[in-house]
């Protein structure tokens, strides 16, 4: 484990049945207190990588450590300090927002005081106020996503793994979700690994970025450094140049 790092990925490979290589030997690290973004086109291997880090998939090769613990050999211990929000995650529509948060809290603790601390923190992170008293079925997509992000972060995981946290949201809702993520990192010193198709969002939110294409890591660095290196005005241009150059 590299000192000061929350996550270390070394020569990670994943081959699915049928010989489909989703991830082809990628390596990267995420520092403590850092938001690290994985970007790439559909099918690049982003979600597969996130699921391996989250202990939901076994790698074919390579090694992944979360705070020095192997995600395969020490999966149960890793699960205690991480949280994972899939892109297609949902909340129980017939529960009120506060009921859903309490359900999640009770899955994570049987201590009444800790449960209330989680509830208070989640309410603050969500920013939903009195709407937490309403059923999730009445929420907009943006409100639901804010609820889910708060539920993911409420137990203060040391590594949060977020797959497309603002997918399909309007500008205002996406901004609120980003603010919650940034606030969480600043308050806890935890690390966040996220995937997003929104290049402007990644540029705004992430401290460092890795670009994956066809299962291979093709660029990595701070957004500013990547823009300088590729002579780009923004991260979207970096992405297009890197992926386009790789395809040619």
In this prediction the pTM is 0.92
Across the range 103-123, mean pLDDT stands at 95
pLDDT digits (tens, 9 = 90+) for 74-87: 999 999 999 999 98
Q: 76 exposed, middle or buried (CB, 10 Å; 0-12, 13-18, 19+)?
A: exposed
The full set of domain ranges for the chain reads: 5-81+159-247, 90-156
Domain 5-81+159-247, CATH class in plain words: alpha beta
Across the range 132-156, mean pLDDT stands at 94
- The residues, ordered by sequence, that sit 6+ positions from 82 with a Cβ below 8 Å of its Cβ are 53, 54, 55, 66, 157, 158, 159, 160, 161
- What pLDDT is attached to residue 40? 87
pLDDT digits (tens, 9 = 90+) for 38-58: 998 888 899 999 999 999 999
């Amino acid at each position: 484990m590299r000192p000061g790092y929350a996550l270390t990925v070394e020569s990670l490979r994943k081959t699915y049945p049928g010989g489909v290589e989703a991830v082809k030997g990628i390596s990267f690290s995420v520092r403590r207190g850092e938001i690290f973004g994985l970007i790439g086109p559909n099918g690049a291997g982003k979600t597969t990588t996130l699921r391996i880090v989250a202990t939901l998939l076994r790698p074919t090769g390579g090694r992944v450590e979360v705070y020095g613990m192997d995600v395969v050999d020490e999966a149960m211990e890793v699960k205690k300090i991480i949280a994972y929000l899939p892109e297609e995650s949902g909340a129980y529509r017939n529960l009120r927002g506060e009921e859903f948060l309490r359900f999640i809290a009770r899955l994570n603790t049987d201590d009444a005081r800790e449960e209330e601390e989680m509830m208070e923190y989640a309410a603050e992170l969500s920013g939903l106020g009195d709407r937490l008293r309403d059923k999730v079925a009445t929420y907009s997509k943006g409100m639901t996503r804010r609820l889910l992000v708060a539920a993911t972060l409420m137990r203060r995981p040391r590594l949060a793994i977020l797959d497309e946290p603002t997918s399909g949201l309007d500008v205002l809702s996406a901004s609120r979700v980003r603010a919650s993520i940034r606030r969480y990192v600043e308050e806890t010193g935890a690390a966040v690994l996220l995937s997003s198709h929104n290049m402007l969002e990644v540029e705004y939110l992430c401290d460092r970025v890795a670009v994956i294409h066809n299962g291979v890591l093709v660029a990595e660095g701070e957004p500013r450094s990547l823009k300088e290196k590729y002579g780009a005005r923004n991260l979207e241009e970096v992405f297009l140049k890197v992926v386009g150059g790789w395809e040619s």
